[in-house]
Amino acid sequence: MTVFRGAYTALITPMTDSGAVNFDGFRRLIEFQIAEGIDGIVPLGTTGENPTLNENEEEKLIEIAVKTANGKIPVLVGAGSNDTRHMIMYTERAKKMGADGALVVTPYYNKPNDDGLLRHFEAAAKVGIPVVVYNIASRTGRNIPASLMAKIAQIPGIAGVKEASEDIKQMGDIIREIALPKKAAGQRFWVLSGDDAYTLPLTSMGGDGVISVISNLLPAKVKALTSAALEGRLEEARALHYELIPFIKAAFIETNPIPIKQALEWAGLPAGPARLPLGKLAPASEAALKKTMTDMGILK
């Protein structure tokens, strides 16, 4: 059984200045993540700009991710769509290409009702690869409350949730009402934060870690924070949390992944520009990001 626990990185997709995918740069980023001790990687998510990637680019990125990870760390591939038929195709592709799991987001724009959501995730789970639900109402327009998540969690093959509701009560309800009872029964429902700022609160309540944006640049720090929290070293975890908060704020000063790609570029890692419709950082945002990175010693 794949363990979706610890610090996972929601990988960016590096681009060239012309807007082409930098496949060699993508491989280098994964090698960097592994060398820094990350627990897992998530290509083709929101941070990876999957809405603007074509299928050939996606398949090449999955191929590189699986080959470079080489069983050392799990690869959880973004496979979501607001069309259930396409989601099934993407989930089948992830399975066929050797991914360890599929991250399936709440269908966006359609705003499906409860019955539609339940059937959507049933269809994902039938593919036969572990499925992690991605709950992020700020991007999809539809939250999955704990009561509905409890029903989804009973579907065989649903492995857990990337919880990005920014609702600490909902996170606690999911852990208390779903994850902990399953654990007591010898099963697992992994609960991962989808927001760097909630890594410590969620793990402190009994969650399992984070799918992180800032770990694109600071994987060792995010891994240290997550490990400390999961192992009950809360003073150490709290210190790391407060150390990272300024960069977390700066990394989301504008729409993700625009700031983190700029931060990686300044740090000498492959990133390049985001694809349209995502534009460049505003001058004020760029100055704030650079100041934060300099103040933290990330930039000299």
pLDDT tens digits, one per residue of 45-103: 999 999 999 999 999 999 999 999 999 999 999 999 999 999 999 999 999 999 999 99
- Domain count within the chain: 1
242/193 Cα distance (integer angstroms)? 17
Q: In the annotation, is 162 catalytic?
A: yes
**Which residues make beta-bridge pairs with 211?**
8
**281 occurs within a structural domain:** no
Please check whether residue 293 lies inside any domain of the structure: no
Q: Which domain holds residue 227?
A: 6-231
Instruction: Please check whether residue 29 lies inside any domain of the structure.
Output: yes
pTM of the model: 0.96
Q: Percentage of the chain surpassing pLDDT 70?
A: 100
| Sequence-ordered list of residues with C-beta below 8 angstroms from that of 35, at least 6 positions apart, any chain | none
Please tell me the predicted confidence (pLDDT) of residue 300: 82
**Catalytic residue (one of 8, 90, 95, 162):** 162
Q: Is residue 256 part of a domain?
A: no
For position 106, what pLDDT does the model report? Answer: 97
Asked if residue 197 is part of any domain, the answer here is yes
Catalytic pick among 90, 134, 198, 221: 134
Assess whether 198 carries a catalytic annotation. Answer: no
CATH code assigned at 202: 3.20.20.70
pLDDT tier for residue 285 given thresholds of 50, 70 and 90: very high
Cα separation of 141 and 108, whole Å?
A: 6
